[in-house]
């Protein structure tokens, strides 16, 4: 009861209001998301669960502002994304959202440091201290001695650490992780999850998409989808 009271006063950083996403496939409308409403509070750690085909990926795309809902509204920091054009959405992604992917998605021809710095280049304003920040982040994820290595010279766990550093370079409020540990062995995976916990404790909002129950226990809150609808919010 006390928890619910607290929730009411907690600031909402991202909110889905009756969001739908419909694809046209060969003339047939597929409802990947069907009227979803979820408020994501600031500094919360969410696990987004669901079987494959439940709409997790679609939801993640919308949360990450790389896709738009076909119905309803998605608010980030109180701003309706329906009112933003493509450039504004890109700016929002760069400034407020840090992506972490299952397959790391580093850029192969760039070295570690350059990879961490990529989001900086797309931000307006000065980036003069960018290299120093990137080095700090590399140090934080334990890769300070490999700055000039290419992604192909790093292990999976190391690559994911680079991706985390990259997601943090613009100091975003929201970290979006899509099966971030899916390609890693359990030892490395738990190290990565430790980093997420740490980030959460530092005040980041973490939205972690996973299908593993065990991982979801780490999270404070759970959103479970089924057939494009909210199955459970905990």
Partner 1 sequence: MFHSSFTRSIRLGINSLLLHKLRSLLTTLGVLFGVSSVIAMLAIGEGASEEAQEQIRQLGSQNVILRSIKPLEDKVSSSSYGVNAYGLTWHDFERASETFPWVENSIPVKNIVQEVRFEDKVINPRILATTWEYQNVTGRIVHRGRFISQADDDLVSNVCVIGYEVSRLLFPGLESIGQKIKIGPEYFKVVGVILPRVPLSDDMPKVNTSVTSEILIPLTTGRRWFGDMTVKIRSGSREMEQVELNEIVLAVRSPEQVPYTASASREMLARHHQQKDYEVVVPLELLARAEETKRIFNIVLGCIASISLLVGGIGIMNVMLATVTERTREIGIRRALGARRHHIMLQFLVETVVLSVGGGVLGIALGVFVPVLVEYYADMRTIVTLSAPLLAFGISVSIGLVFGLYPAWQAANLNPVDALRHG
Question: Which spans of this chain sit near partner 1 (rule: CB under 8 A)?
Answer: 61, 64, 66-67, 86-87, 90-91, 93-95, 99, 101, 105-110, 118-119, 121-123, 125-127, 166, 170
Crossing angle between the packed helical segments 130-140 and 112-121, to the nearest 10 degrees:
130
- For residues 38 and 233, is the Cβ–Cβ distance under 8 A? yes
CA dihedral 212, 216, 218, 220 (to 10 degrees): 170
Q: Decide whether 49 or 62 has the Cβ nearer to partner 1.
A: 62
- Which residue bears the tokens 């300070």? 144
Q: How far apart are CA 114 and CA 36, in angstroms?
A: 38
Shortest distance, position 32 Cβ to partner 1, whole Å = 11
Q: Decide whether 13 or 92 has the Cβ nearer to partner 1.
A: 92
Q: Decide whether 65 or 222 has the Cβ nearer to partner 1.
A: 65
End-to-end Cα separation, the chain, in angstroms: 13
Count of beta carbons in the 10 Å neighbourhood of residue 194: 11
Shortest distance, position 81 Cβ to partner 1, whole Å = 14
Shortest distance, position 222 Cβ to partner 1, whole Å = 25
Shortest distance, position 151 Cβ to partner 1, whole Å = 11
């Amino acid at each position: 009861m006390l928890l619910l009271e607290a929730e009411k006063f907690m600031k909402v950083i991202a909110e889905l209001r009756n969001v739908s996403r419909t694809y046209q496939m060969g003339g047939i409308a597929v409802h990947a998301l069907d009227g979803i409403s979820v408020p994501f509070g600031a500094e919360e750690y969410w696990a987004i669960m669901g079987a494959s085909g439940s709409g997790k990926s679609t939801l993640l795309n919308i949360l990450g502002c790389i896709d738009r809902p076909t119905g309803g509204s998605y608010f980030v920091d109180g701003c309706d994304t329906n009112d933003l054009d493509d450039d504004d959405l890109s700016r929002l992604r760069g400034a407020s959202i840090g992506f972490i992917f299952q397959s790391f998605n580093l850029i192969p021809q760039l070295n570690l440091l350059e990879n961490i710095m990529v989001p900086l280049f797309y931000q307006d304003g000065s980036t003069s201290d960018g290299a120093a920040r990137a080095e700090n982040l590399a140090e934080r994820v334990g890769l300070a001695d490999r700055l000039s290595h290419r992604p192909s010279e790093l292990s999976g766990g190391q690559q994911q650490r680079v991706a985390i550093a990259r997601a943090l370079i613009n100091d975003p409020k929201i970290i979006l992780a899509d099966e971030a540990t899916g390609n890693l062995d359990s030892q490395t995976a738990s190290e990565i999850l430790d980093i997420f916990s740490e980030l959460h404790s530092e005040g980041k909002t973490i939205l972690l998409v996973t299908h593993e129950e065990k991982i979801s226990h780490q999270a404070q809150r759970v959103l479970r989808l089924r057939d494009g609808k909210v199955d459970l919010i905990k």
